[in-house]
């Protein structure tokens, strides 16, 4: 009885033990984890080689291949990245370039200057025009008078001193310089008149020649004197107007109002000095030139009267005096 009962019990427990064994024992596979997906490992090993091939060509490559690889390795930068720098440099260049004054702008500033200066500035502007005209006129007169030409007159007087009267007169006969004209007048007076009468005649001619060269000097002297006074008058009138405006403003007066009136008033003083200084310098230069001419003609006249007359000329002059 026991044997059949034990056999039945074993048959009942065998399925249960088989299920428990299958649950606890892990499934063993023949494939290893590292060999399931070998492709990523190969890619990871091949990628650095590919990059090295692109960036560092071997020495066996040809120059054309190296240039092509270098061209491929050059990084292309978008043009937009340089746009801000270009705009900035262009702006700086425009700011560094000074504005060009146009003719219209200069005329507008001159008109504003004349309006702000008042009546005095108009008078000073007129004097400036007259000053420039006088200076140019005096230079032209000096050139025509041969103020700096002494060669021909000295040659004529040297020939006169050596007794060559005809040659001396021929040298300066057609000359228009002030020294040549005085020398010719002195030689002719010495031949035609006695010594006392000849000296008086030469002195008269010399005074007339010097007086012609002194024309216009009084006008320059007057401009050099009154131009600063006109500027000072305009300054005083401008300051009076500025203080009147300050008084009308009362306690709420703006200091900039007074400052603006003062600097506008000082414009006339500066303009007056700007006209007077060139006029005074031109006057001094003209006087120095005339003094040089005066000394030269006095020397020429003295040499002509000191030199003895040739015998034929002396006899002819005595005959004329006797008649």
- Cα separation of 230 and 312, whole Å? 65
Q: What is the pLDDT of residue 128?
A: 95
The predicted-structure confidence for 68-115, as pLDDT tens digits, reads as follows 444 444 444 444 444 444 444 444 444 454 454 576 766 666 666 666
Q: What is the pLDDT of residue 137?
A: 96
Q: Quick check: 297 and 206 in contact, CB under 8 A?
A: yes
- What tokens does 263 get? 């600097």
Residues in the chain: 323
- Nearest Cα to 192, choosing from 319, 301, 307, 311? 319
- What tokens does 74 get? 């050059």
- Cα separation of 124 and 268, whole Å? 8
Element of type H or E holding 39: helix 39-55
In a domain, 87, yes or no: no
Q: Provide the domain count of the chain.
A: 1
pTM for this structure? 0.61
Low-confidence ranges of the chain (pLDDT < 50): 1, 17-18, 20-95, 97-98, 100
Q: Quick check: 189 and 284 in contact, CB under 8 A?
A: no
By CB atoms closer than 10 A (0-12, 13-18, 19+), residue 293 is buried
Neighbour count for residue 309 (Cβ, 10 Å): 18
Q: What is the pLDDT of residue 242?
A: 76
Q: What is the pLDDT of residue 300?
A: 95
Q: What is the pLDDT of residue 121?
A: 87
Q: What is the pLDDT of residue 110?
A: 62
Beta strand extents in 139-221 (DSSP E only) = none
- What tokens does 321 get? 């005096």
In a domain, 68, yes or no: no
In a domain, 75, yes or no: no
In a domain, 132, yes or no: yes
- Cα separation of 280 and 297, whole Å? 26
Domain span at residue 276 reads 117-322
Q: What is the pLDDT of residue 58?
A: 44
DSSP state letter for 75:
P
In a domain, 35, yes or no: no
In a domain, 277, yes or no: yes
With tokens 């006029």, the residue in question is: 279
In a domain, 51, yes or no: no
- Cα separation of 224 and 216, whole Å? 13
Q: What is the pLDDT of residue 209?
A: 95
In a domain, 102, yes or no: no
By CB atoms closer than 10 A (0-12, 13-18, 19+), residue 163 is middle
């Amino acid at each position: 009885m026991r044997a059949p009962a034990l056999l039945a019990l074993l048959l009942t427990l065998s399925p249960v033990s088989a299920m428990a064994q299958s649950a606890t024992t892990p499934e063993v596979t023949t494939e290893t984890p590292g060999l399931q997906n070998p492709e990523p490992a190969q890619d990871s090993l091949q990628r650095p080689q590919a990059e090295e091939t692109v960036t560092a060509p071997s020495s066996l490559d040809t120059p054309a291949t190296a240039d092509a690889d270098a061209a491929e390795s050059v990084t292309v930068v978008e043009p937009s990245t340089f746009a801000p720098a270009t705009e900035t440099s262009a702006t700086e260049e425009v700011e560094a370039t000074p504005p060009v004054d146009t003719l219209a702008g200069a005329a507008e500033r001159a008109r504003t200057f004349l309006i702000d200066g008042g009546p005095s500035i108009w008078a000073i502007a007129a004097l400036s025009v007259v000053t420039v005209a006088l200076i140019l006129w005096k230079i032209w007169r000096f050139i025509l008078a041969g103020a700096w030409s002494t060669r021909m007159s000295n040659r004529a007087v040297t020939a006169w001193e050596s007794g060559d009267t005809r040659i001396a007169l021929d040298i300066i006969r057609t000359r228009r310089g002030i020294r040549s004209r005085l020398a010719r007048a002195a030689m002719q007076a010495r031949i035609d008149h006695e010594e006392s009468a000849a000296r008086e005649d030469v002195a008269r001619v010399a005074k007339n020649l010097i007086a012609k060269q002194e024309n216009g000097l009084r006008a320059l002297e007057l401009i050099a004197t009154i131009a600063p006074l006109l500027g000072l008058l305009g300054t005083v009138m401008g300051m009076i107007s500025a203080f009147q405006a300050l008084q009308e403003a009362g306690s709420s007066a703006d200091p900039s109002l007074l400052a603006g009136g003062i600097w506008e008033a000082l414009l006339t003083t500066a303009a007056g000095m700007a006209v007077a200084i060139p006029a005074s310098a031109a006057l001094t230069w003209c006087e120095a030139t005339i003094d040089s001419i005066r000394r030269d003609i006095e020397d020429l006249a003295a040499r002509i009267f000191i030199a003895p007359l040739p015998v034929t000329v002396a006899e002819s002059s005595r005959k004329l005096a006797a008649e």
